[in-house]
Every structure is written in structure tokens, then in C-alpha cells.
Amino acid sequence: MAQSSINPVVRPTPEPSNELAITPVQRLYHLDAARALLLLLGLPFHVATKAIFESEPAAMAFQTSQAVGGYLSFTHIFRMFAFFMLAGYFAGMMRERKGAGVWLRERVRRLGLPLMASLATLGILQFRLQDLLLHKPSPRFLGLPLALDHLWFLIVLLGYCACYAAIPVQRIKPGRRILRALQLEGSGTFAMMLVLAGWGVLRIISELWVPPIADAPIETLLWQQFLFHAVGFVAGILAWHGRIGDRVFAMNRWFIWPAIVLMLIVFMPLDPLIRPALGKEIYPDGTGLWIMRTMELPLAYLMSLALFRMLAWAVNKQSRTVTFFVDGALAIYLFHLVWAMILLPQARALPISPELQWLVASVTVLALSSLGYLVVRANNITSILFCGVPQKS
């Protein structure tokens, strides 16, 4: 997570020149809660994936657990889509308030400095711990003994910000059809699902037919992530420029819920994250892969909307707990993989069920990462480097 906790009241602006009525932008308190929740969901996810895919021996008890596999599959569908959608929305908001140049320089400072500081410290440490504690060597990044791991999202987000800043704001005028599609109105629902499904097909093409970068699996994965998640960021930008954030991020469409259930019934048995727990081979066949990738983004959009709707119902004011996690989101997220790598060998050795091992490790990782945030924010230099902002007074 990389956005700040600023979620200000935005003054109403003139309606854009399209036929759809646009309501004034309201303060959406629940979006802070969404950002905090998306952060917290990522920690147990990475604890499990480190144990399953990046440890030797692999934690087969985690991989064959329906509880662990179900969590991985369910949250992986929507978590990063929702994150980049929120990032795009707030990018539009802050660019408009500050101007493209000032906003982009701020993004470079608030994202670029933590990225460089983390690569120079956490990246080196994680590269060593991967081999020392998990006994499975980490791929190098840019040919250097650095583990990119979860830091990829900062590079992708900086890339999106640079692309967005290069587009003159007067050129970004979502029309009636686009706004109807984002709001799943009438025929716009079908159009939105079709566009998202098509983007999933583009991902398959990039994975299967575009040659990977030679001896650079991390760099190959990085540009694929940049391509795949762009659609979420663009959706957030369009929601801002169309002044429909209050509708999109609290959408009440009855058909979203049954559609999610029906799509999950088809999607989850195809997902490699849960297939071993269902007694299946880890990867589906070719047809299954096409079905999964085609469904993934439409399902991610619907699940993101459902999450935003639930939070809009539950959160209508500021919360100290939410504020803490939003303010500390970046630092907590940066630190958590180091703690996961340190704790996993001990957690896996505990004489308890794999599900409890996973939960104990996840809760401890959250606690220690939060403590790390409190430590770095107490010093101005470390706060700037790992939180992206000066020390709190």
C-alpha cells in the first residue's frame, strides 16, 4: 500500500459535458478503511505463499489446507485490483488539487524514496534470508543480489503515475457510455464485463506467447504485472474524472452478489492457489487456464465493488485504528516479509495444526511490522525513507 491517509472533502466542480448526471464529490470515509483492510489481507497471504512456494521443503500442509488455500484464492482475486483502483482514484484527486508537476514530484518522493531505501536494505536482507532460513535461493533483481518480492507494487505504481501525469487532464473526459459501464448500468454492465474479460485474454497472450526476458524471471513478471493491473488503476482514474466515486465505491446493485457466487463456483476450482487443497493438480489444463484468466478481472471488479459497499455501510466516520493502519500502511507492508521469513521456520515447527501455524505467524508478523512502523516514524530520516513522510509531531 502506498497512498497517504489524506481523504479530504473535495469542493464540488462543474459537471462534465456528458448526459449522465454527476453528483458532487463527497468525503468517503470508508475508503480509508478499505486501504487499511487491503493492507491487512496481504500479510497472511504472503506468509502462506512464502511457506508454500518459496521454502524448501515446501509447506505442503499449508498448500493442502482448504482454509489456507481458500483464503489465498479468495483474497488474491480482488485485493490488488481494489488497491490499484483506489490508487487511481486518489491519484486523480490529488493531481487535480496540486497540479500534475507538484503531484508527480510528491509521488516520486513518497514512493520512490521508500522503494530505493527498501531495495538497499530489505531487498538485500530478504535475498540472504531466503537462502539462509527458507533454504530456497531468491531470484536476483537487475542481476544484483536483491529480492524484489512484494516491492514490485511500488515500481508499478510509480510507472502508472508517470503515464497518468503525461496525459493532459483536459483529454480525460469519460463519456456517458464509460460512466454507465463503470456503474454497471444497463448495457454498460455487459460492456464492462467484456472489456475486463478481454484484458484477461491479453494477459494470457503476454504469458504464453510473449518471450520472457532471458535469465530475468523477476523482470518478466514485473512488466506482466504492470500490464495486468493497469485496468484497475484506469478504472479509478475514470471514476474520479467522471465524479462518480460516491456511486462506484458504494454501489448497490442487487445482481453483484449472486454473480460473485456463481463466478466463484466456476473460478476457484481452476485457481492454482486452491487446487491442491481440492485434490487437483496445481495447474488447470489449457481450457481451464483460458476460462480462469477470462473470468478473473470481471470477478475482481465485482468483488471489489462488494467490498467497498460493505465498508460504506459499516464505516461513516474516522477511526483511530483505521487511521493508524493507513498512516503506517507503507512501512508495515515493506517490513512484513522480513518478519515472515524469520518466523516461518519457528511457526512450522509448532505442534499445532497448519491452519493455526499460519494464523500464529500472520498475527505475529502484523504485530512486529506495526512495531517496526512505530520505530521508523519516531526518527525524521527513517520516517521519510520508509514511510514517505516526515516524522509525526
Please give the pLDDT value at position 33. 86
Model pLDDT, residue 21: 40
pLDDT along the chain (393 residues), means of 10: 40 39 58 87 97 96 97 97 96 95 95 97 97 96 96 97 94 94 96 97 94 95 96 97 94 96 98 97 96 97 97 85 89 97 97 98 98 96 94 72
Q: Give the pLDDT score at 301.
A: 98
> According to the 3-state scheme, what is the secondary structure of the chain?
CCCCCCCCCCCCCCCCCCCCCCCCCCCCCHHHHHHHHHHHHHHHHHHHHHHHHCCCCCCHHHHCCHHHHHHHHHHHHHHHHHHHHHHHHHHHHHHHHHCHHHHHHHHHHHHHHHHHHHHHHHHHHHHHHHHHCCCCCCCCECCECCCCHHHHHHHHHHHHHHHHHCCCHHHCCCCHHHHHHHCCCCHHHHHHHHHHHHHHHHHHHHHHCCCCCCCCHHHHHHHHHHHHHHHHHHHHHHHHHCCCHHHHCCCCCCCHHHHHHHHHHHHHHHCCCCHHHHCCCCCCCHHHHHHHHHHHHHHHHHHHHHHHHHHHHHCCCCCHHHHHHHHCHHHHHHHHHHHHHHHHHHHHHCCCCHHHHHHHHHHHHHHHHHHHHHHHHCCHHHHHHHHCCCCCC
